[in-house]
Structure 1
Amino acid sequence: MYLKHLELRNYRNYAKVSTDFSPQINVLIGSNAQGKTNLLESVYVLAITRSHRSNNDRDLVRFGADFARIDGRVSRKLGNTDLRLVISSQGKRAKVNNLDAPKLSAYMGKLNVILFAPEDLNLVKGSPALRRRFIDMEFGQMSPAYLANLTMYKKALKQRNAYLKQLKFHQTKNLTFLDVLTDQVAQYGGAVIAARAKLLQDMGKFAAVIHSDITRGGEVLQLRYVSQVHDDAFGDADAATARLQDLFAKSRQRELDQGTSLVGPHRDDVQFIVNDRDVATFGSQGQQRTTALAVKLAEIDLMKQETGEYPVLLLDDVLSELDDNRQTHLLRAIQDKVQTFLTTTSLDGIAREIIQEPAIFHVDDGTLTRMDADAVLHDRGSASAQT
């Protein structure tokens, strides 16, 4: 799949922009704070319905405007799909082929994207919450069933925590209703754990091959799902549910005392093991970056496996954070198969493979101008020759 056309109205610093994109490489070049990341973010929001940079939707609306609108035409194997997302004080409204989407969860998956930004290099050494958010956002695009179970789990967990708080402060004594909520949390939580374990196992296989390639066979990468549920129950949602119910029974008094749920996939984590050592604790910065890169690149193949199509890749100033070896492997992984958008302040320092046949856009204060790629690359080549 690829994004053929994008139109923005009142999005961040863009009053109005409308443009077509290449199905291959699209380079957004310009000085800092001109809107390169904003445009990349708009593609992400069109796909995911939320920003990776802000939890406040109002931040996405141009100053002084009442709404922001993102329109996109997505080319897929079975034809084109027109998407629209409108953001206002009334919330978000989505359309697919001019028909209202009843739920945002039903809208997701029409455009699949993978975002790789400098902060993603902290995936390995960051907090467990960061890694949980990462797998939930990515797996939610790949599997409507996973997204549905995760949504219901979060809803049931919120109700259970609220009720546990009431019990803690003696506002109610009805433990039967707590049992009902516990069963719901265990049911949806078991489905989430089983799906996470399966997808992480598959992602780990892809990541191990990529990681071995980058390190020239010198290191072995493993992804390990860390959960209160034993790994012998990972592959079966019913077994994971039964294990959660057992854990809830054992932790019941502690949960009543603390007024919150102490068990469930909202407390799980992902561990990255390189040569049998936890790379977050014992790995060098270089090893941590290689691991993060391998995992992000593994997403591409995993998404192709799960959806039948390659996703759109968004690279937000990440090439400048990678050395030549890691750049080369990144470019090799995406060449000729993944539509890519990358932001940069300069083409200098970018591995030459990335600019074979790019579409180049100059971003300046919320305006987008397509440039003559041959002329830009010729000028770059001339300047390199002179130096």
Structure 2
Amino acid sequence: MRLRELVLDRFRNYAALHLTFDAPVTLFVGRNAQGKTNLLEAMHALAFAKSHRTARDRELVQWGREVATVKGRVERDGGRSVRLEVRLAPKGKTVKVNGVEKRRLSEYVGHLNAVLFAPEDLNLVKGAPQHRRRFLDMAIGQVSPAYLHDLSAYLKTVAQRNQLLKMARTAGRPLDELLSVYDEQLAALAAKLLRKRLEFVGKLEGWARTIHAAVTQGAETLSLRYVSTVAMDAADGAMQAMEERVHEELVRLRPHERERGVTLVGPHRDDLAFFVNGYSVQTFGSQGQQRTVALSLKLAEIEFIREAVGEAPILLLDDVLSELDAGRQLHLLSVIQDRVQTFVTTTGVEGVDHALVRHAARYRVEQGQIEPEG
């Protein structure tokens, strides 16, 4: 797939902008704080109807304005064209596909698949578990609308159950009858999410292991493990078995949950662990190893999406070339070449010696103004 047009209206520091893209690789070059990342953020918003930098949609609207819009035209394989629109307003967010408003996010996400790689994605390896859960949810959600729907229902159920646990603690009553109803709902939804996550991690590991071995010239073997609050593995993937195990844990831990007022079991508490040659990268890995694992995961995500939907996603590289050494740069650019439409932000490419960069479309970004170079 290709993003052919991007139209911004009062988005961040862009009052109005209309860009068209024909080249496989597009570079946005400029000093820091000029608006380069805002362009990739707009593309991310077009794909996911949300920012990767903030949970507050209001921050995406230009200062002093009430409404912002992001529009784009996506060309899918076979020449099919899809027009997308995200409108951010005080009363809420609306999304449209080919002019038709979609009520559910699961009906919108997936028309433009995108993989973002930014310096903060190092947190994917060494950061808190929520970074890895977000990675899982966004990657799976792009190719499975049902997963997004189940995730939304699951998180609402967790929030409602947490309220009930707090009420039980405050009132001094167990409220076991009501909690049992929520336990059944939560276990059923958790099992659906767990099965999808375990399947995803199994496929991702295959791609990431191959990529990681290539980057390290065969010196390192990467493996992944899904760390669940409920003891299970990919081989024990029967829905009923998962549901029963989650339900058993919810019942077993209910006294502790009432004391703390939170749900301690389920996908919202799970994690993803990485190992190189059998050792935990999170605990024992060097910064270079952690960067290589993060790079391998992002490149593996591209392959996962390509396999799942039959087309490669677009790739958004936010100032990462300067964060990678020459070897990792070369591998990243070689994977991209002629296969993935890529948008790169950078302060300069003088140290990057690759034909892909030399032949890329290039724009100079300065104080929210964009001019083509060359």
What is the rounded CA distance, in whole Å, between the counterparts of 2:307 and 2:368 in structure 1? Answer: 37
Instruction: Report the CA distance shift for 1:278/1:345 in structure 2 as closer, same or farther (over 3 A).
Output: same
Q: Give a deviation string over 1:77-127, Cα, whole Å, max 9, x none.
A: 250000011001111011110111122221111111111000112311111
Greater CA drift, 196-205 or 103-112: 103-112
Residue aligning to 1:2: 2
Alignment of 1:135-214 (within 5 A): 135-170=136-171, 174-214=175-215
What is the rounded CA distance, in whole Å, between the counterparts of 1:283 and 1:147 in structure 2? Answer: 33
Unpaired segments of 5 or more residues in structure 1? 373-387
What's the secondary structure of 1:187's corresponding residue?
helix
Residue aligning to 1:369: 371
TM normalised by structure 1 equals: 0.93
What is the rounded CA distance, in whole Å, between the counterparts of 1:192 and 1:122 in structure 2? Answer: 23
Shift of 1:4: 0.3
Shift of 1:173: 5.4
Shift of 1:23: 4.7
Moved over 6 A (4+): none
What's the secondary structure of 1:84's corresponding residue?
strand
**Contact kept in structure 1, 2:198 and 2:233, CA below 8 Å:** no
The amino acid of 1:195's aligned partner reads K
The amino acid of 1:338's aligned partner reads V
What is the rounded CA distance, in whole Å, between the counterparts of 1:114 and 1:180 in structure 2? Answer: 38
Instruction: Report the CA distance shift for 1:253/1:89 in structure 2 as closer, same or farther (over 3 A).
Output: same
Alignment of 1:298-337 (within 5 A): 298-337=300-339
Residue aligning to 2:131: 130
The amino acid of 1:53's aligned partner reads R
Instruction: Report the CA distance shift for 1:23/1:76 in structure 2 as closer, same or farther (over 3 A).
Output: farther
Shift of 1:202: 0.3
What's the secondary structure of 1:131's corresponding residue?
helix
What is the rounded CA distance, in whole Å, between the counterparts of 2:241 and 2:155 in structure 1? Answer: 20
**Contact kept in structure 1, 2:71 and 2:83, CA below 8 Å:** yes
Residue aligning to 1:28: 28
Number of residue pairs aligned between Structure 1 and Structure 2 = 372
Residue aligning to 1:353: 355
Q: CA RMSD in A?
A: 1.3
Shift of 1:237: 2.6
Q: Give a deviation string over 1:196-232, Cα, whole Å, max 9, x none.
A: 0110110000000000011111110001000122234
The amino acid of 1:341's aligned partner reads F
Q: Give a deviation string over 1:148-188, Cα, whole Å, max 9, x none.
A: 11111101111111111111111765422211111111111
What is the rounded CA distance, in whole Å, between the counterparts of 1:154 and 1:120 in structure 2? Answer: 24
What is the rounded CA distance, in whole Å, between the counterparts of 2:254 and 2:233 in structure 1? Answer: 23
**Contact kept in structure 1, 2:207 and 2:303, CA below 8 Å:** yes
TM normalised by structure 2 equals: 0.97
**Contact kept in structure 1, 2:305 and 2:311, CA below 8 Å:** yes
Alignment of 1:1-387 (within 5 A): 1-78=1-78, 79-170=80-171, 174-232=175-233, 234-372=236-374
**Contact kept in structure 2, 1:30 and 1:344, CA below 8 Å:** yes
**Contact kept in structure 2, 1:280 and 1:288, CA below 8 Å:** yes
What's the secondary structure of 1:209's corresponding residue?
helix
Instruction: Report the CA distance shift for 1:284/1:174 in structure 2 as closer, same or farther (over 3 A).
Output: closer
